[in-house]
Amino acid sequence: MIEDYKEYIIDLENKTDKTKKDEQNLLEVKENLKKLIGLKRILEK
């Protein structure tokens, strides 16, 4: 199950990196970062 989360985090990070360059997608970037932070907290427990 943790492996699934790792894949999801990597995918989100990749999407976030791509969308950082496009200011129209700033909201999506913020949402992705919130998800990343939340998932990383879950995984650290």
- pLDDT, tens digit, 9 for 90 and up, residues 5-42: 778 878 877 776 665 666 666 777 788 888 888 888 88
Q: What is the pLDDT of residue 22?
A: 65
Reported confidence tier of residue 1, pLDDT bands at 50, 70, 90: low
3-state class (DSSP) for residue 24: helix
The whole-model pTM stands at: 0.44
Beta-carbon neighbour count of residue 32 at 10 Å?
A: 20
Residue-range domain boundaries for the chain: 2-44
Predicted confidence (pLDDT) at residue 43 exceeds the cutoff of 80 = yes
